[in-house]
A and B are shown apart, each in its own frame.
Chain A
Amino acid sequence: MIPAQFDYVRPTTVEEAIQALRDGGDDAKLLAGGQSLLPVLRLRMADPSLIIDLGGIPELKGVREEGNEVVVGAMTSHYDVTRDDTLRQHVALIQEATKTVADPQVRHKGTLGGALAHADPAGDLAAPALALDAQFVIAGPSQDGSGTGTRTVGAADFFEDYFTTAIGEGELLTEIRFPKYTGWGARYEKFNRVAQAWSIVAVAATVKVDGGTISDARIGLTNMAGTPVRARAVESALVGQSATEENVRKAAQAAAEGTSPTADADAGSDYREHLARVLTGRAVLAAAG
């Protein structure tokens, strides 16, 4: 790999990272796990003047419980997400989706925060984060510019467009806070041509089933628009229904409502809409288990 030349710093605290962003100006790029940035550098499709490596900031790593929330540090690796017992118990959907990301090597290097901040519409973690109503904690310069402060943005406002999030100039993502979905079933139904490929379409579904009846449902769609999309029409159609195949498939017919999928060699937009309906049915049925 021969990228264009850049300067490199490795801060050890969030404050240092914010300062480095301030010093680096427009051309600075944050490096998390590097699974998206490095290929772009290799192909010379980006040539930042400064790379700020977040790998040396311990406070950005790890999973912890805080009351009704599970808090995941932005630099927690996919591998650690897939193995965490707290997430397994309370936020199974993000874990299920993370298991499908690329391959073991990528999962050891890539990070939850890096993937979410990258906001690739075909990436697998944004749709579950949206479905789960995750909260994004963003650090940046304080109002008076004298130090650092944080602000929190909900998932619905975090993803703005293709590769574009609410993270502003000079800011960085520090934490993702998930409400607890203890006892909910979860399924990430991913459709791609080969195992190591981006999703053509994927559906993140988590449902609460009480006595055979779906009492609550959250569904997020991957790669059905420039941002992840919440399949709210399906969610409301499901609530109160018994979790039969017929009911679920019927509700899933609304999955493509409000989406605006792209067309490419792997799928036309009509095919993506069709896949969204089929996969939503399958995901919900599996989640309702």
Chain B
Amino acid sequence: MTTTENAPTQEIGRDRRRKEDRRLITGRTRWTDNQALTGLLHISVVRSPFAHAEIKGIDTSAAKQVPGVVAVYTAADLGADQVQLPCAWPVTKDMKAPQRPALAGSRVNFAGEGVAVVVARSAAIAKDAAEQVEVDYDELEPVLDMEAALADGATLVHPEIGTNANAQWVFDSGEAGSGGSVAEALQKAESDDDQIIVKRRFRQQRLVPVFMEPRSTVVDPSGEQLVMWSSTQVPHILKTMLALTLGLPEHKIRVIAPDVGGGFGGKIAVAPEEVLTLLVAQKLGKPVKWTETRSESLLTAHHGRDQIQDLTMSVTKDGQITGLDVKLLADMGAYLGLVGPGVPILGAFMFNAIYKIPAYRFDCTNVFTTKTLTDAYRGAGRPEATFGIERLMDEAALELGMEPMEFRRKNWIKHEEFPYTTVSTLTYDTGNYEAATDQALQMFDYDGLRREQQERRQRGDVKQLGIGISTFTEMCGLAPSRVLGSLDYGAGGWETASIRMLPTGKAEVVVGVSPHGQGHETAFSQIVADQLGVPFDDVEILHGDTQSSYKGLDTYGSRSLAVGGIAVVKAAEKVIEKAKPIAAHMLEASEGDLEFSGGRFTVKGTDKGVGIQDIALAVFAAHDYPEGIEPDIDAHATFDPENFSFPHGTHLCAVEVDTETGFVQLYKYVCVDDVGNVINPLIVEGQVHGGLAQGIAQALFEEAAYDDQGTLLSGTLVDYTLPTAADLISFDTANTTTASTTNPLGVKGVGEAGTIASTPAVVNSVLDAIRHLGVKDIDMPTTPYRVWSAIQNASGHAGRADEANVASPGAGLGSTASDISRGDTQGGHL
């Protein structure tokens, strides 16, 4: 028994190493795929090679003959074609939502869609037999281009809904009363000699989330409760959705997300394969496992981004923005994911960013194509918006002949203006853009690098320097339940936590958020240690199992600390509140004379006191406690935030562009992020680093490209270009702190900040390096080929990167493999 005599060191603010890392790094944990249940069967999904096709017939007879195969099912055998996988975010009342089955019945709508499933005694047998399933397809026209998909007479992905448009969502500040009319602002600007209008079209390429651990699901139907282990970010949502989707009694389902190896939004889903595994397990009455290959993951796990952005800004010649019009096309892919249609809509609140914009309109049309569906990916809607506005700010500054940071400074919300209600109706509680920017400029040596840039230009160096800016904010900590309700989101945004005080004084904290790499166990232990005044090592964080954590809304949208962490604080406050009368009883004092500090109740003005951990033992024994109360100090709390949190920051990027080859080399990267109060600086820095890597990768490396038949060209990690540490540089990160005023810890989210902010900073820097050569824009990713071609085109030479036949063979493993498989190599033995 520990009695805390001295107040322990404050945990919040300590850069503790993550307590979960030992088991994660050494592999001493159990991922879903490690579940080895007695009698476990394995499934392999037979997938369509075509983007759009009628299924004429499926011959499973050969597959069924393979020794070790237990069953081969088509959609009808399982009723999988009758399932409607859920979309929880009907963004408009008249949104068109096609049925999304667990297996395709009569038609496939993207390459990779499942059409049959093989069940076998081993994963290897299942895979062998899956190759024996013969499917007869009648190919249909693929639908690949969003603008063509909306044109009259376009081939329809889902003829039954009569259109390729999923929904149109419009916000107009004139109509909302939060600002003027953009139509009027632009009209006025056109006839005003003191204003200019800047119009640009930007593309947000399609990305793949590429989490480290491929998805996996195990279902055991043999007990009273059906148990599903799944590599998911959302075990609670999954449980409820399985009940609603399949008509199962919710109390007969238990979902477990064990340690999960990353998600980045890619595991916010009710995946067809999760449902399929469940259906097979139910049908056979035996435990069943599905684990995807990396190629299956790239092809079928949901993708992210994929927008065409048409932006128009009016601005006075002295640099004051007068209006912003945003028109988006957002590619949903073939079906609607769990929150897919809402992802681009989140951008509606972020295009105005940190700027004071008097008139604003946002008009987004979601479009169906015969591609893998899109849904949340790190930042979800905010990176797209931030890219659009921060690129446009550079373009406008350029046309005004104004220094890009000066133009931003002229338009952003001043620190003394907070709280500030924006033109898109959000109220930013706190922020200090000046402080973050000034610190970033100094760390970056902005003036020095501008001088170096000038010198290189004058010398005509092969390697030209470019400097890019992104001054961003984002809305996170999803979310106030009322706000979600007003956006027609299918759930609330509260979060829960429970604290169980054990007889020996240790604390088990059960949280409703579901970590998959973020470090919640460490950060939450630090919070509880401070709140209850117990040692960090006496706290255990439990999560991800709906049996222990029965209520929660899981992890996404940088919500775990700003919402879930506050629920932990509230639960701790309740523990102290419940312990107080017992402490008073033990100390023979009145409650009013007690104060709680450093884990101890003391009687004011005396040295009498009792520790919270001793009280835990006292209520366990329950031999002597006050009448009229229960012998229990455990507590449960639910926190519903009153507002989002609004982290912000200034990111500065310098790149060297090799004008002979087009290669872009990162030269310097500085970011100063304001994420409010910091619980664990080490974790915050890690989140920022990882976020930067992903955001920079969108700018320079990643793209999920399709050929003209709708075949994904980046079906392996050879073809989908991910950077490693070797391709990045050492980032200079720092924080300014303006505490959030909407939660008691003063914290804001940090999980997505780096990704949201960095992409435009990098692209702005690439263009800044070569704009003097006549280059106006380059689509992402700004590959060497595209950069070189842009320089060639600007100087009047042909460069053909934009017309490159990306389907042609020749690069990487794909071509290697196909040449070998043709068997035309002579003696090419390895």
Contacts and interface: CB of A to CB of B under 8 A. Distances in A.
Interface of A: 2, 4-5, 21, 29-32, 34, 36-37, 39-40, 42-46, 103, 114, 117-120, 122, 160, 162-169, 171-173, 191, 193-198, 200, 262-268, 270-271, 274-275, 278-279
B806 A278 contact: no
A263 B804 contact: yes
Nearest to B819: A163
15 contacts: A5-B128, A30-B830, A37-B830, A39-B716, A40-B820, A42-B293, A45-B820, A167-B829, A168-B827, A194-B721, A197-B812, A264-B810, A270-B800, A271-B788, A271-B800
Contacts of A164: 824-828
Contact of B812 (A42, A198, A263): A198
Given A43-B817, A164-B825, A167-B829, A191 B727 contact: no
B663 to A, nearest CB: 7
B828 A167 contact: yes
Interface string B777-792: 0000001110011000
Contacts of B127: 2
A2 B804 contact: no
A160 B826 contact: yes
Contacts of A119: 828
B737 to A, nearest CB: 35
Given A46-B817, A194-B723, A263-B805, A168 B798 contact: no
Interface residues of B, number: 52
A172 B660 CA distance: 42
Given A122-B812, A262-B808, A275-B661, A46 B821 contact: yes
A200 B718 CA distance: 13
B243 interface: no
A274 B820 CA distance: 29
A263 B807 CA distance: 9
B97 interface: no
Contacts, number: 153
B819 A117 contact: no
A220 to B, nearest CB: 19
Contact of B131 (A36, A44, A165, A275): A44
A167 B806 CA distance: 32
Nearest to B824: A164
B701 A193 contact: yes
Contacts of A2: 123-124, 127, 293
A118 B816 CA distance: 9
Contacts of A268: 785, 789, 799-801, 804
A249 to B, nearest CB: 10
Nearest to A31: B830
SS class, residues of chain B in contact with chain A: loop
Interface string B519-550: 00000000000000000000000000000000
Contacts of B421: none
A46 B804 contact: no
Interface of B: 123-124, 127-128, 131, 293, 295, 660-661, 663, 701, 705, 713, 716, 718, 721-724, 726-727, 783-785, 788-789, 798-801, 804-806, 808-813, 816-821, 824-830
Contacts of B819: 162-163
Contacts of A274: 788
B727 A264 contact: no
Q: Find the residue from A270, A271, A278 having the highest chain B CB count within 10 A.
A: A271
A271 B799 contact: yes
Contacts of B783: 193, 266
Contacts of A166: 827
B443 to A, nearest CB: 27
Contacts of A168: 826-827
Given A5-B128, A271-B785, 16 more contacts: A4-B128, A31-B830, A34-B830, A40-B820, A42-B293, A117-B828, A117-B830, A122-B812, A163-B816, A163-B828, A194-B723, A195-B724, A198-B718, A265-B713, A266-B783, A270-B800
A39 B813 contact: yes
B126 to A, nearest CB: 9
Contact of B808 (A118, A171, A198, A264): A264
Contacts of A5: 124, 128
Contact of A32 (B124, B804, B813, B830): B830
A262 B828 contact: no
Contacts of B727: 194-195
Given A43-B817, A262-B809, A278-B660, A169 B721 contact: no
Contacts of B718: 39, 197-198
A201 to B, nearest CB: 9
